[in-house]
Chain A
Amino acid sequence: MSRARIATVWLDGCSGCHMSLLDLDEALIDLAPAIELVFGPLVDAQEFPENVDVTLVEGAVSSQDDLQLAQKVRARSRLVVALGDCAVTGNVPSMRNQIPPKQLLERIYVDGVNVNHRVPGDGVPPLLRQAVPLHEAIRVDLHVPGCPPPPAAIGHVLAELLAGRKPELAGKVKFG
């Protein structure tokens, strides 16, 4: 049997969901022969590849870059999983949503510091008006809430998807 092509993506989040994935600990050893990790912060790949079976997306969609990557993920993945509260609800990144980006950046980079009163421009992706959950940007096949989702829930999701089943998450996960 060919190995499932799995990708992970880190948008506007704290990487805690990736940590929770790593917290599967020795269960990762059982998982490893069944999957090929083709993209994400845990592997050295520059471009999101074609023909991905499952992509786990951590983080809210906050910037132009996030949006473009999310759209690429959708176009190139068979299944997209929103992993964790930021991707599912917007969570902490969405706490800026009442403040227009220009005002927000000036508050932080101009009013909030003593030196270099300048909003960074070069090489920094422009923020979207609001940080939104993944399913407000692209179609999402499965939502795994939690901040972070417990390792057992992530393990359950991966095991069920690898077995070709839709994971039943009702009661197993919660917001926060």
Chain B
Amino acid sequence: MPDRVSIRIDGELIHARLGQTILEAATAQGKFIPSLCHMKGLTPVGACRLCLVEVAGVGRLLPSCTTPVQDGMAVTTRSERLDRYRRMILELLFAERNHICAVCVSNNHCELQSLAQRLGVTHVRFPYSYPRAAADLSHRQFVLDQNRCILCTRCVRVCAEVEGAHVWDVGGRGIGSRLVCELNRRWAESRYCTSCGKCVQSCPTGALATKGYAAEEMVKRGETISRLVEVKGVRA
């Protein structure tokens, strides 16, 4: 079996490596597919559904981050339907927690905020749920603010796969799901946290941040994680 395949992305014929995902192949060609839970170097999970694409001959939409390329595949990454669904997903993310961009540490450096701008979300059509969500300020260096968490699980994966500590998990069900630290301990009482800060750097919003920053001051360096995985090959 050849290790190279030919696929069409938005009508353009490209060559991809067998085993690559649609998202990887498209990104390698300089194409933009919106995503929030994907981070290069971590196992893709298809959690946020923003990277959904249309594949010719398949009746449903497929997440491009978890779908491997196949020879002869024809993929559409932008359409009126995809734009509509992507905007809807972003609006639901905003409605689900208390994202107050104006006072957030990550204002102007937030992937959720910038995707909303890029995809033309000017308001949220769904009623906000205003949940009561806690912040864990117990850690010496870092803060977890559940109000801003979108449950992308990048922190869960970077901690388990790269740092090897597996401090984070998701507890609860459905709308009540919350990021939890070791079976719901306070962060300061974690037995395995090494305080490496990889979770903070991987977080696309202001949910995980370094202490001591005011609004707009938290700039994340997610690419350092991708580079670490690439150079060291540390992925578990």
Residues of A at the B interface (CB closer than 8 Å) are 82, 85, 88-92, 94-95, 97-98, 130, 132-133, 135-136, 140, 143-145, 147, 169-171, 173-176
CB distance from B88 to the nearest CB of A (A): 15
Would you list 8 pairs from A and B whose C-beta atoms are within 8 A, ordered by A residue? A85-B101, A94-B100, A95-B100, A132-B128, A133-B123, A140-B123, A169-B120, A174-B113
Closest Cβ neighbor of A95 among chain B residues = B100
CB distance from B87 to the nearest CB of A (A): 10
Complex interface residues of chain B between 83 and 104 (CB less than 8 A to chain A): 94, 98-104
CA distance A135 to B124 in the complex (A): 9
CB distance from B114 to the nearest CB of A (A): 7
Whether the pair A170, B102 counts as a contact (CB closer than 8 A) is no
Whether the pair A91, B102 counts as a contact (CB closer than 8 A) is yes
Closest Cβ neighbor of A132 among chain B residues = B128
Whether the pair B118, A171 counts as a contact (CB closer than 8 A) is yes
Given A82-B123, A91-B100, A175-B99, list of 8 further CB < 8 A pairs? A94-B98, A94-B128, A95-B100, A97-B128, A133-B128, A144-B122, A174-B101, A175-B117
CB distance from A79 to the nearest CB of B (A): 15
Complex interface residues of chain B between 174 and 215 (CB less than 8 A to chain A): none
Sorted nearest first, the 8 A-B pairs with minimum C-beta distance are A176-B101, A170-B120, A147-B102, A143-B123, A97-B130, A174-B117, A175-B101, A143-B122
Whether the pair B98, A176 counts as a contact (CB closer than 8 A) is no
CA distance A146 to B49 in the complex (A): 26
CA distance A98 to B131 in the complex (A): 7
CB distance from B46 to the nearest CB of A (A): 26
Closest Cβ neighbor of A140 among chain B residues = B123
Closest Cβ neighbor of A85 among chain B residues = B102
CB distance from A158 to the nearest CB of B (A): 16
Q: Which residues of A contact B128 (CB under 8 A)?
A: 89-90, 94, 97, 132-133, 136
CA distance A82 to B125 in the complex (A): 13
Q: Which residues of B contact A97 (CB under 8 A)?
A: 98, 128, 130
B2 at the A/B interface (Cβ < 8 Å)?
no
Whether the pair B116, A92 counts as a contact (CB closer than 8 A) is no
CA distance A174 to B125 in the complex (A): 16
Whether the pair A171, B117 counts as a contact (CB closer than 8 A) is yes
Q: Which residues of B contact A174 (CB under 8 A)?
A: 101, 113-114, 116-117
B127 at the A/B interface (Cβ < 8 Å)?
yes
Closest Cβ neighbor of A82 among chain B residues = B123
Q: Which residues of A contact B127 (CB under 8 A)?
A: 136
Whether the pair A173, B122 counts as a contact (CB closer than 8 A) is yes
Whether the pair A98, B116 counts as a contact (CB closer than 8 A) is no
B66 at the A/B interface (Cβ < 8 Å)?
no
CB distance from B102 to the nearest CB of A (A): 4
Whether the pair A176, B104 counts as a contact (CB closer than 8 A) is yes
B107 at the A/B interface (Cβ < 8 Å)?
yes
CA distance A147 to B216 in the complex (A): 12
CB distance from A3 to the nearest CB of B (A): 28
Closest Cβ neighbor of B106 among chain A residues = A176
Contact of A98 among B110, B125, B130 (CB under 8 A): B130
- Taking A133-B128, A145-B122, A145-B123 as contacts, is the C-beta distance between A92 and B114 under 8 angstroms? no
CB distance from B25 to the nearest CB of A (A): 26
Q: Residues 6-31 of chain B: 1 if any A CB is under 8 Å from the residue's CB, otherwise 0? A: 00000000000000000000000000
CA distance A41 to B14 in the complex (A): 59
CB distance from B225 to the nearest CB of A (A): 25
Closest Cβ neighbor of B215 among chain A residues = A176
